[in-house]
Structure formats: structure tokens, C-alpha cells
Amino acid sequence: MAYYKRNIRNIGIIFILLAILISFSYYAHAVPVGPTITEIKNETGSIRESTLINTTGGSITTMELNVTAQNLKWKAFVGNVTGSLVLSDASNYSIYDWSLSSIVGEVYATRSSSTVSWSNIHCSNLTHMRNEEIALNHTSNPDDNISATFSVKNHNPFYIGTVELTSNSCYSIHTNVNNQSQDNKFEEIILYDGTDYQNGNVVYATNLEQDSAGYNNNPFDFQMIVPEVGLSTWDSSTAYYFYVELT
């Protein structure tokens, strides 16, 4: 009987230790964190001058006009990421840190000022995107709204904390490289952190590329586009909150 009780006690201790280990492992999972942002520059395309045509009186001129105009319903962020891995406590005192020779992970941007629910993160569906279109007045032109821009599912797997998003599961885009469209680098996907169509927030995510030639052939670690308010009378700006996950 004593041997039996001792085994039961030992089994109980083992279960307690397992529960403690599981608890520590749960809280130790890394999630995206807010970075320190240093703005290098902000620029926009210049307005093109008028084009002259001079025809003789009494003539009829048939014309085809082609124009490239700046899209004020979208804006872009590009840049580089530096950082380190640390082992720290709740007061951010670190006992050790590791410098990184290469950067691997993702950059996230969202309009929401509240902390993203990373445990609920998943691919955004058409309903989520169309609700965001209404919120940002992306309803006047169906050619450049959010759902028309993020209209295909073509990306590699994304790992967000403990959540794995498999290949080609989210609506995605690839931003340009050297002024040309491409489908190999700088993937961007659109995510959602809610449990129904109205209690979550849209989150944009792009993978990190180590010093890769970007839209203007300069080396960047990331580049992404996000929507701006589409009202023709809008003369302000929409703030976005950034997170970075290093893996």
C-alpha cells in the first residue's frame, strides 16, 4: 500500500511539473512586437506638365490620350530592419542578447491602435476586405479598391507566432522590383484578427527580404502598400501601427 501511495504521489508531482512547463512554454512563444521607427524620407510622384498639340483650323484630330496618375487611395512603406534577440524579464531587463547577422521574419501594419489578437490571426476573407473598403471609402472605383488589389492567392507559407498560414491561403500581392511587376519576392498578404466579420481588424503582412533589390532597384528588407481614405475631399492621413516578428 505504501508503495502504491508513493507512486500516486510521484505521478501527481510529474503532472504538476508538466503543467508548469506547459504554462511556461505558452508564455514563451514569440509574437510580433512594436519596433522603433526612424523615418528616412517621405516623397510622392511629381505632377506632370500639360502636353502641347497644335493643329490647323478647319481640321478634326482623332486622339488617344494615355495618362499615369498618382493613386491617392494607397500609400507605401519600404525600408530595412535591424534588431536582436534578447532573453528578458517583464521589466525588459535582459540577461543576454544575440546580434543577428541576417534578418528573417515579417513586418505587419494595421489601422487598429489596440493590440492585435495574434492568437486569432488568420487570412482575411472577402467580407472583411469589403467592410474595410466601406470604412475607407474604397467604393467609388472597383478597379483599385482593396479586394481588387488583393485579388489572388499566391504566396509562400507565413508563420505568425504559433500560427502557420499555408501556401496560397491568403489574398496577396507582390510589389514591384526595379519598376516592374513580378511574383517572386516581396510578398504581401492581408489578414484578420477577429472571430466574426465585425469584431476584428485588418492586418497587412509582408515577409522580410535581406537587402533585396526593391521597387527602385535599391536594397530593401521590406516593402508594402496599405490603403488610404478614398474620399475625393480627404486631405488628411491615416495612421498605421507597425509590428515586426523576427524568427
State the chain's mean pLDDT as an integer: 87
pLDDT for residue 2 is more than 90: no
Give the pLDDT band of residue 68 (cuts 50, 70, 90).
confident
Whole-number Å distance between alpha carbons of 149 and 186? 15
Contact yes or no for 121/193 (Cβ under 8 A): yes
pLDDT for residue 175 is more than 80: yes
How high is the pLDDT of residue 198? Answer: 87
How high is the pLDDT of residue 24? Answer: 33
pLDDT for residue 22 is more than 60: no
How high is the pLDDT of residue 204? Answer: 98
pLDDT tens figures, 177-216? 999 999 999 999 999 999 998 899 999 999 999 999 999 9
Give the pLDDT band of residue 39 (cuts 50, 70, 90).
confident
Percentage of the chain beyond pLDDT 90 is: 69
Whole-number Å distance between alpha carbons of 114 and 134? 20
Whole-number Å distance between alpha carbons of 196 and 35? 29
Predicted TM-score of the model (pTM):
0.83
Its sign, for the CA torsion 146, 174, 119, 244, is negative
SS3 (DSSP) at 189: strand
Indicate the range of 18-27, 56-65, 109-118, 237-246 predicted with least confidence. Answer: 18-27
How high is the pLDDT of residue 162? Answer: 87
SS3 (DSSP) at 243: strand
Beta carbons within 8 Å of 109's beta carbon, 6+ residues apart: 77, 203, 204, 224, 226, 240, 241, 242, 243
What average pLDDT does range 116-120 have in this prediction? 94
Contact yes or no for 228/236 (Cβ under 8 A): no
What is the DSSP track for 72-140?
Answer: TTEEEEEE----EEEEE-TT--EEEEEE-SS--EEEEEES-SSPP-GGG-EE--HHHHHHHHHHTT--S
What average pLDDT does range 27-47 have in this prediction? 77
How high is the pLDDT of residue 93? Answer: 95
How high is the pLDDT of residue 190? Answer: 98
pLDDT for residue 21 is more than 70: no
What average pLDDT does range 89-100 have in this prediction? 93
- Checking 128-137 for CB contacts under 8 A at 24+ apart, the result is 128/190, 128/192, 128/194, 128/197, 128/200, 128/202, 129/171, 129/190, 129/202, 131/197, 131/198, 132/202, 132/227, 136/73, 136/227, 136/228, 136/229, 136/230, 136/238, 137/229, 137/230, 137/231, 137/234
Whole-number Å distance between alpha carbons of 223 and 30? 23
Strands 158-160 and 172-174: unpaired
Whole-number Å distance between alpha carbons of 202 and 126? 11
pLDDT tens figures, 125-167? 999 999 999 999 999 889 999 999 999 999 999 999 889 999 9
Indicate the range of 10-19, 34-43, 59-68 predicted with least confidence. Answer: 10-19
